[in-house]
Structure 1
């Protein structure tokens, strides 16, 4: 009879622990979704979570009562059994020692059983089935809390009084909102478990970064603005249109700082003008903004005003760039190319052939890793002069270490006569000690070779690599890949979808 009652108490203890940890782990957003679908159990869970401190107090009252009952009922019987077993040592041990040993053994035995069956097992179950446990146990818990209303209120008031001097909040008022960094980690874990496509994860990463992006980060800089000028002959303006093939062009009195609006290509094509068009008559108002304007605001104000292009000015009022809605949306969906946009070398698939990727670089010195990547490039591009390439890269590496931090090394060199840019990517299976500014061991190597005749190409590629490796989610995934194919596919997907 005592044994059955003890088992019942331990089972009740396990049920309360199971429910308590389930309430701590259950996702409120998921419960709210079920409640919106009309689930009465989910509504009950919401009620419990809304007054979580009261319901936890109810369970704690019961757990305290169970602990007292176990000590009062089970411990004497266990102690008597152990004392009888230890009595055979009465010749050696005095009665007081036998009583002390039997008491200690009884407490240890009960504590071990309770820890295993009423603590560890329920916690493990709650971690795996938090939602199910919460949905099943919410209603009984509400009834229990109602029955113990008076002691719960006393316990709740006492806990609030103890927390208040330290500026701490009760469980109900504590902040349960997931932060942005935590959300990134949770989404990354969801993708690794196959619940979220990689492409969608990168789009969400862009959305997170979009909140802090400014117009100056997405605009086309001043030196790349194609505009029409009233002081130029029509043939020169027409040459600009034929060369750039844009839809909209800023219209200026002289240079870009004297902009008076913009000209739409449709107005030129559909106009009834014979001969040279009157650009001033075709002028439309051009929306203007400042460098510090958040893109989040522009993505609303520009469509509201029917503006697809904006002139961006710096703090002094000087034109610093031009911004289109396409530029804004590229910060979310990645690069957008139309029929007239030439793809960048980085994304045309020529730089990321399988032979130019090594997902398992062996441990060793930095020179050996660079030489291995040069060999990979040589296998993919037989026209490459491998000794000259390694010599140029290693000479620069010894003079200026290319560790850029965050576990990334970017050795690079410009080679005369190189037919085009070449890139090899390597990943250390184990972190390689480095002398990087931040002290983070090297995990990734981006080897970049570009033609000496085109220095701008190298700058563009290095800038793109920098924008990719600053993404923590991408770095973490690159560190974890195991095969060349996975590394290559991950880089291609990231470069397509992650905003520059």
Structure 2
């Protein structure tokens, strides 16, 4: 009996672990020279072999269960029945005693089979799928050879029945494929389990989130663009590039809505050395993208064409802003500051307990970081949200309330008509979360 229960537990563990084991981990172990992993790798990589492996487990489970039931009924129950008659329990007849013993033995064996043969191996396999799969692969190889005729019969019958119902089994029906949402959930679970640190988790989440962003949300807006008329001289453009700290300057004809090309500082220095003053002689072409284009597609386009930046156009064909490789990289790795950058910190904590934020931060990001519910329909950025809620040009000190859990947003700094910095008075439930995102002020 114990042997049959153990056999059932073994085949249950083998079946469950072969399906739940991570294929990437098995391949990694195989590449490192693990003998068992080398045996298991072709099974988890090929669906036909995995089908046969699972079928062998099912055959083993069925045979061990049948033997256990037959042994319990014919041997154990038959041995218990005479004892019941001999003890004189209720003046039982031999036939009734046999029926009672058979029922009792079957109930006992069922409980034993479910607990030790099913639940226990499944629990262990859930905790250690790769370890269990590697531990069971060698005996399973023998089982595959022994049960091959039965596997062929049962698998063939099952496939035939499936085809009769008009279902075509896909070639990758066992493939461990995951949607972006599932991958994000896996990242969160790995982080919660301590397998990923905070920085790696954030990088992975940012990379996955890039598919949700558009060029409009990532671009440098028109008001912050650095551009120059195409009629500018080479010395003028060199001076502007040095003052602004950029190596590429878009050139426009008439207005910034008519960008005709790009001046690169390297080309400008070459023209100056050759004593030529017209930047149009070395003007480079520039790419244009709609503001609704997914940020991931912008990345692919720029990389494919070997470009660094593109002009973002609004629905009317006007210039909405500029988007560069650096802007896209910053969406994954965070702000990249060099010696030419003089920007406010993204997030800082004030002495008054308020959280100070740059106004160009996306409302969606703030909602995620601080677990808020600020409306995302009014505008993409915090500055735009304040502008829309006020219904007029903001002034320093203006305050608005937004969100289901009310959050007070105050304008802290303006630059003409443009909001530079805002501060939030967060609800108490969000306060512990701030520490993860607090950045030192950079003067």
TM-score using structure 1 length? 0.67
Distance change >3 Å, CA 167–CA 268, structure 1 → 2 = same
Q: Report deviation, 1:297.
A: 4.8
State the aligned residue count. 403
Partner of 2:260: 260
Partner of 1:280: 279
Partner of 1:117: 116
Can you list the C-alpha shifts for 1:433-469, whole angstroms capped at 9, x where unaligned? xx96xxxxx6xx654333497885389779xx9xxxx
**Contact conserved, 1:286 with 1:311, CA < 8 A, in 2?**
no
**Contact conserved, 2:289 with 2:298, CA < 8 A, in 1?**
no
**Contact conserved, 2:234 with 2:268, CA < 8 A, in 1?**
no
Whole-angstrom distance in 2 between the partners of 1:123 and 1:150: 27
Correspondence for 1:29 among 20, 24, 30 = 24
SS of the equivalent of 1:408 reads coil
SS of the equivalent of 1:323 reads strand
5 Å-filtered alignment, 1:311-322, equals 311-314=311-314, 317-322=317-322
Partner of 1:329: 329
Distance change >3 Å, CA 12–CA 229, structure 1 → 2 = same
Answer yes or no: is 1:75 the counterpart of 2:73. Answer: yes
Distance change >3 Å, CA 218–CA 283, structure 1 → 2 = farther
Partner of 1:290: 289
Can you list the C-alpha shifts for 1:1-60, whole angstroms capped at 9, x where unaligned? xxxxx1111111111112111112211111112223333321211233321221222222
Whole-angstrom distance in 1 between the partners of 2:259 and 2:295: 22
Partner of 1:179: 179
5 Å-filtered alignment, 1:9-408, equals 9-49=4-44, 50=46, 51-80=49-78, 82-84=80-82, 86-87=84-85, 90-91=89-90, 98-164=97-163, 165=165, 167=167, 169=169, 173-230=173-230, 244-265=244-265, 272=272, 278-281=277-280, 283-291=282-290, 293-299=293-299, 301-302=301-302, 307-314=307-314, 317-344=317-344, 346-347=346-347, 349-351=348-350, 356=353, 377=354, 408=372
Q: Report deviation, 1:158.
A: 0.9
Q: Report deviation, 1:273.
A: 7.8
Whole-angstrom distance in 1 between the partners of 2:83 and 2:171: 47
**Contact conserved, 1:20 with 1:59, CA < 8 A, in 2?**
yes
**Contact conserved, 1:11 with 1:118, CA < 8 A, in 2?**
yes
Q: After alignment, is 228-237 or 283-292 more displaced?
A: 228-237
Can you list the C-alpha shifts for 1:298-329, whole angstroms capped at 9, x where unaligned? 44554565533322334654333222221222
Whole-angstrom distance in 2 between the partners of 1:172 and 1:410: 42
SS of the equivalent of 1:257 reads coil
Distance change >3 Å, CA 93–CA 447, structure 1 → 2 = farther
Distance change >3 Å, CA 281–CA 26, structure 1 → 2 = closer
**Contact conserved, 2:414 with 2:420, CA < 8 A, in 1?**
no
Partner of 1:369: none
Distance change >3 Å, CA 245–CA 159, structure 1 → 2 = same
Distance change >3 Å, CA 281–CA 99, structure 1 → 2 = closer
**Contact conserved, 1:211 with 1:296, CA < 8 A, in 2?**
yes
Whole-angstrom distance in 1 between the partners of 2:154 and 2:279: 79
Name stretches of at least 5 consecutive residues in structure 2 with no aligned partner. 357-366, 376-385
Partner of 2:409: 448
Distance change >3 Å, CA 460–CA 238, structure 1 → 2 = farther
Q: Report deviation, 1:108.
A: 0.8
Q: Report deviation, 1:188.
A: 0.9
SS of the equivalent of 2:144 reads helix
Whole-angstrom distance in 1 between the partners of 2:170 and 2:250: 59
Partner of 2:362: none
Whole-angstrom distance in 1 between the partners of 2:183 and 2:331: 20
